[in-house]
Structure 1
Amino acid sequence: MISVDIGLEFRPKTVYDVDGTSVLSQLYYHLSKTLAEQAALKFAEEHGIDLVTLHPGFVLGPLLQPVLNITSEGMLNFIKKGQEIFPDGTFRFVDVRDVAYGHIQAFEISSASGRYCLVGRVAYSSEAFEILHKLYPAISVPETCKKEKPAGPPYHVSKERAKRLGIDFLPLETKVEEFKAVETEESMSGRGKLACVTGASGYIAAWLVKMLLERHYTVNATVRSLKDPQKTEHLLALDGAKERLHLFEANLLEEGSFDPAVDGCDCVFHTASPVNLSSSIPQVFFFYSLHFRVLVTYKRTFDLRVLISFTQFQAELVEPAVKGTLNVLQSCTKFPSIKRVVITSSTASIMITGKPLKPDTVMDETWFSSPVLSLLSPFKTLAEQAALKFAEEHGIDLVTLHPGFVLGPLLQPVLNATSEGMLNLIKTGKEMSIDGIYRFVDVRDVAYAHIQAFEIPSACGRYCLVGSVAYSSEALKIIHKLYPAISLPDTCKKEKPAGPPFHVSKERAKSLGIDFLPLEVSLKDMVESLMEKNFLIL
């Protein structure tokens, strides 16, 4: 940051960004950084080098090297002696892991360019010392830190460009605490807590189990068969699984099947749901769904003959989803230790309303799908409706999450519906959506949202989880740019309207602390994962 900020006047309302340039100061370290950047920018421009510069502040966090660097030595002297590093006692803190991640993102995100400020928080040294003292009472607070400081940060550093790199800065408490090589508050948030995850072998659920274990939760995970290694091995391989993961066999249609798994739990995450997209049902109901919507649009009579497979559809998808959800909730009523239930639903239970979707349309949590208008929404919508009614009648604290088309790396060894759909799109250009429009969200954002939906006391109701709405052609162009060997299907070469076809509100997702990963990151990580598991060979 010293190549950006030296010579600027700082006030509480000041927000400085990458447009700042340090004056040539008498502080030799500052001088060296400023002159080096100026020389690099000039040389890169003259020689056509694609150059990105990162500007971290005062770097904190755990050390890998065996010796002290300048910031760790400064922090150590500050802890032991109260010796200030900066005359005004003001620090621009950033975690070393955020800085390292920023470097990788600056290379991997093709649109990255120019300069990026990397500062998680601006604070007085006394604030950092008070955090340390609270964590470690044996560390006394120096007299200089006991003096009252103005409320709020002394000034601000813009995070806007850093967010484009997908950086969600770690809290200062994490940096200060891990400087002492102990567990972070977030990573310990599950200590002493027991959570149940149903359908744990699945795409979203496996990531949820991974994140819960990382936060020191003990996890009861249900799968359909303990004898199937494809449902258990990737879970047992997770860090912390040996000590804190317990697997249970459970059947959605069997009443009481989930009792052993939810017994004594603090929270139940119900992710299990039937998605049988390999049978003949989807073709029939895809036609039914499309045909019905067209007829409704033109106010014409609906031909009931397309419902020929309705009984089979009910038996294989709707009944397991609704009855399975009610069976899980029924088990939850038996154990008063359960504080909250979080259910994984879908935007399919939100968006199919018959309303036209236009570029100025903003879909939000107040929308409810009509069960008769699409293939996926019937069982998701009916399961949610049944869950809400049951929860209200039995006093269950219930939160429902509604992700869109989930992307990102796979933990499980088999393809799920969206990863298989994305693989087919990449290899053959075959669409999963009839209009080629997708509501993309990263699997890691979805898993994290589940934990936040439990841990944040004020969380309630429904949450849309969609990072971006885009045409499939946009996604494939990003993939082609990252992997030129992947050719674009002819359908993607047709021009699409500029901008998103519609919008999904992010306001409630933000209240869970979700800062969605960029689509580029999700796509790249998914392609890498598909190649690693040999589903995609270039």
Structure 2
Amino acid sequence: MESKGTTVCVTGAGGYVASWLIKLLLSNGYTVHGTVRDPDDLKNAHLKNLENAEENLKLFKADLLDYESIAAAINGCSGVFHVASPVILGSVPNPEVEIVEIAVKGTLNVLKASKESANVKRVLFVSSVAAACVSSTLAEGGYDIDETCWSDKEFCRKTNNWYCLSKTEAEMEALEFAKGSGLDLVTVCPSLVFGPKLQSTINDTSLVLINFLKVGNGIMENTIQWLVDVRDVVNALLIVYEKAESSSSSEGLRYICNGHSIWTKDMVEMMKNIYPHSNYPDKFTDEKKGNQLSSEKLQKLGWSFRPLEETLVDSVNNFKEDGILD
């Protein structure tokens, strides 16, 4: 399929993953239409400073719930990377509307605009392992989680796991839309994304790592952490987008993207060896049975991932440079 040198759209351009994706696309010769709420907002300034951005990046003022604005950004593009999604890990007054409904409606607007465009040949939707790993059965541990697994929507509601519900609903609706319309859609499901950030704001997944370094005396739950570097995630997105064999017409419709599975306690011990003076927790709960997360399908396309220590070091150094950590 067409790839380098063509124009693609990236939704949620100013975000953590999307910023790295745009950087990669620009370095590979793509022209990029990026959607943001306000192109002149200073929090999007890092995008304009990327290499080749002046010539090949155009920011569009768009809202996922405003179909016309999304369609304008997608117009003239041969591919779409739908990255934008509400990532709200805390509580909100009406999560069904503020998290789930926005994710689903926004995704369907992107897909409809892509289908109606004469040029779009493939849409890549960034989902999450959150759409594959949350159910009462999987909570017991001891399972191998792959692309055939789906989170239980009612269990997500029952446990107030609205982010997981939003990703599950959005991905399911996206696949159903593609099935009915013939749109070439591929989904990628990353695990918890760590790594240095390009944007000035702190994203929720970076806060997870920062909190490991600032917990202080106390007890922390010892669970399996599934982790992947943001730079490896965007490499995966480009591989899946460019390779014809990843198409929804083949067996490659959905891809789990996970680099490492590690117990929280083991990760903290790794961090202690690198940064011994941070304020770590001193106690952990007992290990429970964990689940294994497979990225074998993605690796068969040629994807690889960097060592976890590299990700952790690059993340912490980035946080220190930005004054987030001492």
TM-score for the superposition, normalised by structure 1: 0.56
1:532 and 2:321 aligned:
yes
1:475 and 2:267 aligned:
yes
Q: Deviations over 1:55-105 (max 9, x none)?
A: xxxxxxxxxxxxxxxxxxxxxxxxxxxxxxxxxxxxxxxxxxxxxxxxxxx
Cα deviation for residue 435 of structure 1 reads 5.5
| Equivalent residue number for residue 428 of structure 1 | 215
| Equivalent residue number for residue 371 of structure 1 | 153
1:219 and 2:6 aligned:
no
Cα deviation for residue 407 of structure 1 reads 0.6
Q: Aligned partners of 1:495, 1:314: CA distance in 2, in Å?
A: 34
Corresponding pairs, count: 314
Q: Aligned partners of 2:183, 2:152: CA distance in 1, in Å?
A: 25
Distance 1:322 1:466, change over 3 A: same
Give the letter for the 1:427 counterpart.
K
1:448 and 2:217 aligned:
no
**8 Å contact 1:199–1:272 — kept in the other structure?**
yes
Distance 1:527 1:430, change over 3 A: farther
Name which of 345, 351, 354 aligns with 2:136. Answer: 354
Cα deviation for residue 481 of structure 1 reads 0.7
1:512 and 2:325 aligned:
no
| Equivalent residue number for residue 185 of structure 2 | 398
Name which of 100, 114, 119 aligns with 1:332. Answer: 114
Q: Secondary structure at the match of 1:481?
A: helix
Higher relative contact order (CA 8 A, sep 6+): 2
Cα deviation for residue 276 of structure 1 reads 2.6
Q: Aligned partners of 2:10, 2:301: CA distance in 1, in Å?
A: 19
Q: Deviations over 1:118-158 (max 9, x none)?
A: xxxxxxxxxxxxxxxxxxxxxxxxxxxxxxxxxxxxxxxxx
In structure 1, runs of 5+ residues without a counterpart are 1-188, 282-308
Q: Aligned partners of 1:214, 1:429: CA distance in 2, in Å?
A: 41
Distance 1:338 1:445, change over 3 A: same
Name which of 186, 205, 209 aligns with 1:418. Answer: 205
Cα deviation for residue 259 of structure 1 reads 1.1
Which has the greater radius of gyration? 1
Q: Secondary structure at the match of 1:440?
A: strand
Name which of 38, 55, 71 aligns with 1:243. Answer: 55
Q: Aligned partners of 1:487, 1:274: CA distance in 2, in Å?
A: 30
Name which of 68, 75, 79 aligns with 1:267. Answer: 79
Displaced runs of 4 or more, over 3 A: 356-360, 433-436, 494-497
Distance 1:332 1:446, change over 3 A: same
**8 Å contact 2:212–2:280 — kept in the other structure?**
no
Name which of 246, 253, 257 aligns with 2:69. Answer: 257
Q: Aligned partners of 2:244, 2:73: CA distance in 1, in Å?
A: 23
Identity of aligned residues (%): 39
Name which of 380, 385, 396 aligns with 2:172. Answer: 385
Q: Deviations over 1:503-537 (max 9, x none)?
A: 11121110231112121111111111111111111
Q: Deviations over 1:419-458 (max 9, x none)?
A: 0121122111699x96533211111111111111110001
RMSD: 2.1
Q: Deviations over 1:215-262 (max 9, x none)?
A: 0100111111223111x2111111110111110111011122211211
In structure 2, runs of 5+ residues without a counterpart are 247-251
Q: Aligned partners of 1:208, 1:430: CA distance in 2, in Å?
A: 38
Q: Aligned partners of 1:391, 1:535: CA distance in 2, in Å?
A: 42
Q: Secondary structure at the match of 1:529?
A: helix
Distance 1:428 1:488, change over 3 A: closer
Name which of 200, 205, 208 aligns with 2:21. Answer: 208
Give the letter for the 1:322 counterpart.
V
Give the letter for the 2:260 counterpart.
S
**8 Å contact 2:193–2:230 — kept in the other structure?**
yes
Q: Aligned partners of 1:417, 1:356: CA distance in 2, in Å?
A: 24
**8 Å contact 1:407–1:442 — kept in the other structure?**
yes
Give the letter for the 1:335 counterpart.
S
Q: Secondary structure at the match of 1:342?
A: strand
Q: Deviations over 1:312-339 (max 9, x none)?
A: 1111101100000001111111212111
TM-score for the superposition, normalised by structure 2: 0.90
